Amino acid sequence: MIGLIFGPPGSGKGTQAARIEREFGMAHLSTGEILRSEASHGSAVGKEAARIMAAGDLVPDDLIDRIVASRLGRTDAATSVLLDGFPRTIEQAKALDRMLRQLGRKVDYVVALDVPEPLLVDRLLHRAAVEGRADDTREAIMERMHEYRARTAAVLDHYRRNDVPVAEVDGVGGLDEVFGRVREAIKRVTDGI
């Protein structure tokens, strides 16, 4: 099974992915986490990614596609994988379709978290105060919202057009309350698979 957790910056993708991973025994693959880990190790790729992320921009598709292809290639067909933060552009979605086709797999469902933008900004500014992540400055947050609207939101239509079940989930509320909705949505969409 291949699932995607989708949503704007700060919608709780990473937060909910950790719970989905535990409940459904999936391997969690977060492109944001991989990039932050590369950045903290100071590799050439990591330094370049850190600069782009701090500005709130998207890291180039070809780099992300190579990272994901390498990680997916290491999983066997029996492993359920939850992709978090990828794909973020139509080009990445098409690249993922090609990668999965080569592995004899496909995207089985998408869970899309829906949270109004003012609340997203509040959450990210709160995280900035607590964790001090380099891309949680007000300027970078605004750029991330712009990138989401301009390039990422359309990814959902790609899946709808290709008849992949898309479950939209209200992402407003406590962490467990949102997870209750996410769990039900995954059960609903996977019941018929």
- Neighbour-count burial of 171, counting CB atoms closer than 10 A to its CB (0-12 exposed, 13-18 middle, 19+ buried): buried
Among 32, 145, 169, 182, binds ligand B4P (CB under 6 A): 32
Contact residue for ligand B4P among 2, 3, 6, 11 (CB under 6 A): 11
182 interacts with ligand B4P by CB under 6 A: no
Does the protein bind ligand B4P through residue 10 (CB under 6 A)? yes
For position 86 contacting ligand B4P by CB under 6 A, the verdict is yes
- Which stretch in 38-46, 80-88, 98-106, 162-170 sits in contact with ligand B4P by CB under 6 A? 80-88
Q: Measured from the CB atom, is 53 or 189 closer to ligand B4P?
A: 53
> φ and ψ at 61, to 5 degrees?
-55, -45
Taking contact as CB under 6 A, which single stretch among the options 21-29, 71-79, 86-94, 161-169 is the one that binds ligand B4P? Answer: 86-94
Q: Which helix (H) or strand (E) holds 40?
A: helix 31-41
Instruction: Give the Cα-Cα-Cα angle 105, 110, 116 (nearest 5 degrees).
Output: 155
Tell me how many residues contact ligand B4P (CB under 6 A). 27
What whole-number distance in Å separates Cα of residue 6 and Cα of residue 96? 14
| Residue entry with tokens 């989905």 | 20
Between residue 109 and residue 138, which ones bind ligand B4P under the rule CB under 6 A? 123, 127, 135
Q: How far is CA 76 from the centre of its chain?
A: 21
Residue from 4, 13, 20, 165 touching ligand B4P (CB under 6 A): that is: 13
Q: Distance (Å, rounded) from C-alpha 35 to C-alpha 38?
A: 5
Which DSSP helix (H) or strand (E) runs through 27? Answer: strand 27-30
Residue from 29, 38, 50, 92 binding ligand B4P (CB under 6 A): 92
Q: Give the residue, chosen from 2, 4, 6, 9, that forms a contact with ligand B4P under the rule CB under 6 A.
A: 9
Residue 164 CB partners (closer than 8 Å, separation 6+):
106, 107, 108, 109, 110
Contact residues toward ligand B4P (CB under 6 A) are: 7, 9-15, 31-32, 35, 52-53, 58-59, 64, 85-86, 88, 92, 123, 127, 135, 144, 173, 175, 178
